Chains A and B, each alone.
Chain A
Amino acid sequence: MLKFLLRRTLQSAVALLALVTVVFFLARLTGDPVDLFLPLEATEEARARVAAQYGFDQPIPVQYVRYLGGVLSLDFGPSIFQGRPAIDPVLEAFPVTLMLALVTMSIAAALAILVGAVAAYRPDGVFDRIASVVTLIGASTPDFWLAIVAILFFSVSLGLLPTSGTGGIAFWVLPVGVLLTRPLGVLTQVVRSSFLNALSAPYVRTARAKGASTRRVIFVHALRNALLPVITVAGDLLAGFLNGAVVVETIFGWPGIGHLMISSIRQRDFAVVQAAILVTAVAVFVMNILIDFAYARLDPRVSVRQAKQ
């Protein structure tokens, strides 16, 4: 087990280095922040001076080596726009997104398992049909549309919930509700499908032949196996949230990492972009390790040895 963890960490470190390198060079293909940082009226000399101040006048390989040296000593460089270390805004924003993503995914997974299982219990029944249509509509509705309509309806017309911002439970309802629709739609379909698969698998038939009741078959034997694809897909969706809950963060004024990443990509504030990607990547890698552990726990036939791929 320890050996697995060690090897996996080593692999991840190599992959992270590759990621940092790719991001570093790709980002520099998109221009530089100096133009945006200075007013349109600034002189060419002023631009050259700022470029020199932040090292953008150096050849890119030199910049890369310097940056890598900094990263190894946990110095991610200064944010040119914010006038402070780039890692600061990233560490402020990351917990916000992590909380939002975890809460949303927990609710989505719980609901999806419930709805998907009940739907698979009687495929093509009334509940199955309605659940399919409703969750699919949710999954294919543009999130910014849903978010603004929800604000206009629940906050302005009904006055029930705050429009936006952070705070107590009331502030969570709309963002989580909007964020929920997509994973709920996807997960419900996946749960339903893998339940149906699991129910046709030989060992479930065996269980049934041994006299297990239908409900017990569905909720104990099938659930265990149906969870595997659910965890995979939920993990992917969670990874997506970590750098992609942008719309919800932006509209509802949640100061999360997606919003930070977009605005710093737009500003070409490379140090912040790089730090943000690195932090989310570490989170994604850790999450994937956890998922593989979960596999090994849930499916006795998948050993850690297999999962470590």
Chain B
Amino acid sequence: MTLLRHDFLRSPVAVASATTLIAAALFAILGPALFGDVAGKVNLRARNAPPFDLHSGWLNILGADALGRSIVARIAVAARNTIGIAAAAVVASLVVGGGIGVLVGLSNGRMAGFIMRCVDIVMSFPSLLLALVVLYVLSPSPWNVVLVLAITRMPIYVRTARAEVLEIRERAFIAAARVMGGGTRHIAMHHVVPLVLPTLLIVAGLEFALVVLAESALSFLGMGIQPPDMTWGLMVSDGRSYIATAWWVSFWPGLTIVLVALSANLLANWFRGASDPTLRKPRKVGADA
């Protein structure tokens, strides 16, 4: 463990990523309390105020949006909804989708075929229609947003997990585990999941950004978060009409999404590399050659 910490401190990428994520987490926890009022304060006379101009106060350091609200304050406040919704959706689809994928990969029965066709259905079902239905039948609340996002993003985990399982299940040590009398459940938990998880986590890391962006599309339809609540995705989509004339309205929240997503991915990659000794082998191989 100390070795890991030593490694961590020697990796500038890991330190920078972790710092970004901690900052985002702090915003999520403290943002609404600190900036809640300012973030909602409409001031049409400061509409689309440009960034780096301190005349209208330091809160407009990153500029103001179309209603003259401080962008920096809104990014801070929106962190809670954005991270909460995206994390819940990613975890839900990872656990359910990955679980289904592993089970399907390990079994041979008719059930597996049936489940995969159900996944095909979900894949060919436009998320927009699902969103509209939820909007009409249920109400647009954060949990319903999570529901829609989790369902539409699930197939990729099912199919990735299944593919990985098909690839590793014939490996010698699993055959050995079978011979030694391990049940399917035992094999799944102890031999398959540890091997499948890294790939799924990489997918999940990438999905975080996609889910944030997908959430912005839902917000745009009135299905997602409703004003005065806010998310980074909603901020980007609100700034859409001003890309040509006031780039900062969509740029800063977009940059925040990119930075947080990037940090999550880089940290996941680093952790995976640092904690899995077998992955260091190829590096030596490469160095030898």
Verify whether A and B have any Cβ pair under 8 Å.
yes
For A141, list chain B residues within 8 Å (CB): 254, 258
CB of A44 to closest CB in B, whole Å: 22
Interface string of B186-218 (1 = CB under 8 A from A): 000000000100110011011001101100100
**B206 contacts A123, CB within 8 Å?**
no
Contact B167 A19 (CB under 8 A): no
CB neighbours of A214 from chain B (8 A)? 285-286, 288-289
Q: Residue A97 at the B interface, CB < 8 A? A: no
Stretch at the interface among B49-57, B140-148, B273-281: B273-281
Asked if residues B250 and A193 are in contact (CB atoms below 8 Å), the reply is no
Interface assignment of A148: CB less than 8 Å from any CB of chain B? yes
Contact code string A260-277 (vs B, CB < 8 Å = 1, else 0): 011001000000010001
Contact of A208 among B203, B285, B286 (CB under 8 A): B285
Tell me the bound Cα distance from A125 to B286 in angstroms: 10
A33-41, A87-95, A160-168, A196-204: which lies at the B interface?
A196-204
Q: Determine which of B108, B129, B288 lies in contact with A306 in the assembled complex, contact meaning CB atoms within 8 Å.
A: B108
Give min CB distance, A147 to chain B, whole Å: 9
- B265–A197 contact, CB under 8 A? no
Q: Does A169 have its Cβ within 8 Å of any Cβ on chain B?
A: no
Q: Which one of A9-17, A47-55, A67-75, A106-114 contacts B?
A: A9-17
Interface flag for B2 (CB, 8 Å): no
Given contacts A11-B117, A236-B156, is CB(A265)–CB(B279) below 8 Å? no
Please tell me the size bucket of the interface on B. Answer: 35 or more
A239 and B273 contact, CB distance less than 8 A = no
Docked complex Cα distance between A97 and B135 (Å): 28
Contact of B124 among A31, A229, A231, A239 (CB under 8 A): A239
B282 touching A145, Cβ below 8 Å: no
> Are A31 and B136 closer than 8 Å at their CB atoms?
yes
Which chain B residues border A120 with CB–CB below 8 Å? 282
With A306-B108, A306-B166 as known contacts, state yes or no: A277 contacts B236, CB within 8 Å. no
Q: Mark B68-106, 1 if CB is under 8 A from A, else 0.
A: 000000000000000000000000000000000000100
Q: Is A309 in contact with B116, judged by CB distance below 8 angstroms? A: yes
Residues of chain B lying within 8 A (CB to CB) of residue A27: 129, 133
Q: Which 6 A-B pairs have the closest CB atoms?
A: A140-B209, A281-B124, A309-B112, A15-B117, A214-B289, A140-B261
Provide 10 A-B residue pairs closer than 8 Å at the C-beta atoms, listed in order of the A residue: A26-B133, A190-B203, A193-B202, A201-B171, A213-B289, A229-B160, A233-B159, A281-B125, A284-B124, A288-B116
